[in-house]
Structure 1
Amino acid sequence: MFGTSGVRGPVGEAVTAGLALDVGRALATDGAETVVVGRDARDSGPMLSRALTAGLTECGADAVDVGVEATPTVARAVARTDADAGVVVTASHNPAPDNGLKLWTASGRAFEEERNERIAAIVASESFEFAGHDAIGKRRDAEAATDGDARRSHERALRESVAITEEISVVVDLGNGVGRVTADALHAAGCDVETLNAQRDGRFPGRPSEPTAANCETACEVVAATDADLGVVHDGDADRMMAIDERGRFVAGDALLALFARHEAEPGDRVAVPVDTSLLVADALAAVDAAVTYTPVGDAYVAAEAAKPGVAFGGEPSGAWIWPDRTPCPDGPLAACVLTALVGAEGSLAALVDDLPEYPIRRDSVRTDSKRAIVNRVAALADEAFDDVSTLDGIRAETDAGWFLVRASGTEPLVRITAEARDEDDATDLFERARDLIDRAAADHD
């Protein structure tokens, strides 16, 4: 039921009011007495939020409703209200027909796999513990339950934790989502802020929700045509943040991860990154006597690793950034403020990016109905052929020249191949060796 980022899928198919009702029931049955509830701007959000709240209160939990807010805003509100858990009704960067449910612990971190499985088991068995008529939970607005609304609290936390000392001009593309707190915090810090797609609209008419280079061409053009020092772009629920330099170039996720990692890490520190992260990050950290620690793909795994001692930062090239000493959840508005402060201190995002090396990378996919069996066989073959093999998430083999990753797609009948090295010939060689292992595994399976 739960993927790496909660429940997510098409409304009326994978995600229904009945499912939201049962998840609410399960959370309360599992012991949550107070649950913070928020949602993004999708049209299906009110329906799902009401169903979720009904399930919570039916089984005796109180629901604190923060309304339509960014996912990191809601996650931060869980700890601020001393709640036991939180739920955001969101499909994050997915298209408008989708929605979902993402669950948060009392500390504001995504539910770990074990707790998700526990909730799923309660839902599957329908082993709900319903409250009697005199013990039904109550729904409360967040402002009535706390000392102010969640967005103002989030904005205040951003201004207190990030010092922006230079006058910076920033284009903020909200993608018709709920990340207004970014523009508010930057404006309050003295930045010159121009917004794009700032009207909340869960149909995402301005651009698709996912902040990719292809989807953010208009924002790139605006940054290039103005005196802006940088641009920042969010997905629909603002847990992700990507960037545009002052020349109007979309900054690759691995480059942004390398910049953040190098900025945050001190000698001896580790930075949590998924197994498909570029060598660029490891090399940038090695230059400051720090190192990467790899996780499975998914921001929940990165967040769990970032919570461990000695880990200064965690990030995914897709745009999820985690500062464990400030908040345990991916926080796109925080990332926007940190990057703005970094550009103010260094002078040019383009110069920072150009200072990073570029490594050749190869990607492809093999369509198969036996992806798990083939990946399992590749693991055995790779173990025989390579000295440094990890099966943390797929098969990652490392050599002195580079690495390759063979991994089953989580959503499609595909085996994905990624290979990277510091020069073209080595990248091609590693890719071909990975492809050969898949061909051999497929032949063995047949």
Structure 2
Amino acid sequence: MSLFGTSGVRGPVGDVVTAELALAVGRAVGVDAETVVIGRDVRESGELLADALAAGLRESGTDVVSIGVASTPTIARSVGWYDADAGVAVTASHNPPEDNGIKLWDETGMAMARSRLDEIERRMGVDEYALATWDEIGGMTDRGDAISRHVAAIADAVEIDDPPRVVVDVGCGTGSITARALRELGCHVETLNALPDGRFPARPSEPNADNCSALAAVVEAIDADIGVAHDGDADRLLAVDEEGTILEGDVLLALFGRDAVERARSASGDGTANEPLVAAPVNTSLAVDDALADVGASLTRTRVGDGYVAERTNQPDVVFGGEPSGAWIWPEETPCPDGPLAAARLAALVARHGPLSSLSAAVPAYPIYRAAVETPEKGAVMQALGSAIADGAGPGPIEETDDRDGLRVDLGDAWYLVRASGTQPLVRVTAQARDEERARAVFEDARALVESVVENA
């Protein structure tokens, strides 16, 4: 299994993630980088890991620009601001406090491509470094203006004529930049859990419905227009409407996608754009397809993972990319998921078009079912499933099969996805249709197929 997953290296500090690992990553990245930006989230372990990374880079003759504690999108944007060749975020994002991690960014501010990650891992495996002599060690520069530059970039990208009242749940992480940016745009902002603390004592770092009930209650209680919540490094964003209802990720994806399409058409000068596309992973709801079709746009699907979505946003006519888990990418601004920018875009959307509850109600809701089947042989099971589906097993009739990430089977009026978990001995089953009875039938047939293959594996 590769050291670098879709979100970099993550795991328990002192076990998977150590100073020794960080030193090796720094040395390996430094082989072909002259300048590298380093930043970290609020976890206490991040300081020593950042120090070890900087030591490895400087040993390789690479200059280091340290921006200290900052959100991951701030770190990614800083690569370009400081003319660096790469960036390193020391963060475990939405993982629990005992974890930390290392995520690498290329010279464009995009998550580093798999080919480059594989080369870095190869160097680490054979200690293939190019350490500098005593008089060629890289320098170290501290920059304290990165967050201010990020705030200014958001204020320059977003215009709000009638600023709404917003509650920002920082989650004790790095998301206070969102409050700064919204205030810069004229919004009245209240904050929750704004004291940085890498133990995340107020709520778990992941911004989901189970963890953000306090935000929903406050938004409703003080008659705010919207609420937003971040994870530890503020690359993700969850939204709450003025009634205290937490929006499903697919709904927010549809709203952001439609808005990006409309703004792209407006920017084109003649009110048109060439077949605008929105990038999203294979497990995205049909509701997003239908919401985009209403504005003459369509969805282009990717593998699961914000890095894959970001890669797709590099293609012509892709105006937005997102994951229902809360990663939102506007390629004209940055190829990194940017939670603070998402908050500003959402505030502008509400100011321009009215209450978030009304906007979300216009997005169709379709039944979706999920299950997981345990198996220690998930690789063999997935291979057998591919053969079985190709031979006509499971729900049908099949219009198209997509094998870029598991197997997504398009049935025309429904779809199902079978996909091996990247971290657990599971094969996950997801099914959806526009009709409740059809969705349930497809799901039951797909789950039965997986269970049968697992039993015979």
What TM-score range do you get, normalising by the shorter chain? over 0.9
Alpha-carbon contact 1:261-1:271 (below 8 Å) kept: yes
Alpha-carbon contact 1:382-1:437 (below 8 Å) kept: no
Please list the CA deviations of residues 116-162 of structure 1 after superposition, one character each: whole Å capped at 9, or x if unmatched. Answer: 1111111111111110111111111124xxxxx00000000000000
CA RMSD of aligned residues (A): 0.9
Matched positions, count: 439
Could you say which residue in structure 1 is the equivalent of 2:161? 165
Matches within 5 A, 1:214-229: 214-229=210-225
Matches within 5 A, 1:16-31: 16-29=18-31, 31=32
* Partner amino acid, structure 2, of 1:220: A
* TM-score of the two chains, using structure 2 as the length reference: 0.95
Per-residue deviation, 1:377: 1.0
* Partner amino acid, structure 2, of 1:360: P
Question: How far apart are the structure 1 equivalents of 2:305 and 2:17?
Answer: 20
Question: How far apart are the structure 2 equivalents of 1:436 and 1:93?
Answer: 33
Please list the CA deviations of residues 218-244 of structure 1 after superposition, one character each: whole Å capped at 9, or x if unmatched. Answer: 000000101200001100000001100
The one of 393, 405, 408 aligned to 2:417: 405
Matches within 5 A, 1:240-259: 240-259=236-255
Per-residue deviation, 1:188: 1.2
3-state SS, counterpart of residue 163 of structure 1: coil
Alpha-carbon contact 2:163-2:347 (below 8 Å) kept: no
Unaligned runs of 5+ in 2: 266-272, 393-397
Per-residue deviation, 1:73: 0.5
Question: How far apart are the structure 2 equivalents of 1:229 and 1:439?
Answer: 46
Could you say which residue in structure 1 is the equivalent of 2:59? 58
Could you say which residue in structure 1 is the equivalent of 2:341? 334
* Partner amino acid, structure 1, of 2:17: V
Alpha-carbon contact 2:399-2:412 (below 8 Å) kept: no
Question: How far apart are the structure 1 equivalents of 2:6 and 2:412?
Answer: 31
Identity %: 53
Could you say which residue in structure 2 is the equivalent of 1:391? 403
The answer on 1:283 being equivalent to 2:290 is yes
Could you say which residue in structure 2 is the equivalent of 1:91? 92
Could you say which residue in structure 2 is the equivalent of 1:120? 121
Per-residue deviation, 1:437: 2.1
Alpha-carbon contact 2:373-2:451 (below 8 Å) kept: no
3-state SS, counterpart of residue 212 of structure 1: coil
Please list the CA deviations of residues 337-390 of structure 1 after superposition, one character each: whole Å capped at 9, or x if unmatched. Answer: 000000001110001111221100110000110111111111121223233111
3-state SS, counterpart of residue 166 of structure 1: coil
Question: How far apart are the structure 2 equivalents of 1:34 and 1:241?
Answer: 30
* Partner amino acid, structure 1, of 2:290: D
Could you say which residue in structure 2 is the equivalent of 1:438? 450
The answer on 1:36 being equivalent to 2:37 is yes
Question: How far apart are the structure 2 equivalents of 1:116 and 1:64?
Answer: 21
Matches within 5 A, 1:410-429: 410-429=422-441
Unaligned runs of 5+ in 1: 144-148
Alpha-carbon contact 2:163-2:348 (below 8 Å) kept: no
Per-residue deviation, 1:443: 4.0
Could you say which residue in structure 2 is the equivalent of 1:77? 78
Could you say which residue in structure 2 is the equivalent of 1:101? 102
Question: How far apart are the structure 1 equivalents of 2:318 and 2:364?
Answer: 24
Could you say which residue in structure 2 is the equivalent of 1:233? 229
Question: How far apart are the structure 1 equivalents of 2:292 and 2:363?
Answer: 12
3-state SS, counterpart of residue 41 of structure 1: coil
Question: How far apart are the structure 2 equivalents of 1:418 and 1:332?
Answer: 27
Question: How far apart are the structure 2 equivalents of 1:363 and 1:132?
Answer: 56
The one of 306, 315, 318 aligned to 2:313: 306
* Partner amino acid, structure 1, of 2:170: L
Please list the CA deviations of residues 188-219 of structure 1 after superposition, one character each: whole Å capped at 9, or x if unmatched. Answer: 11110000000010000111000000000000
* TM-score of the two chains, using structure 1 as the length reference: 0.97
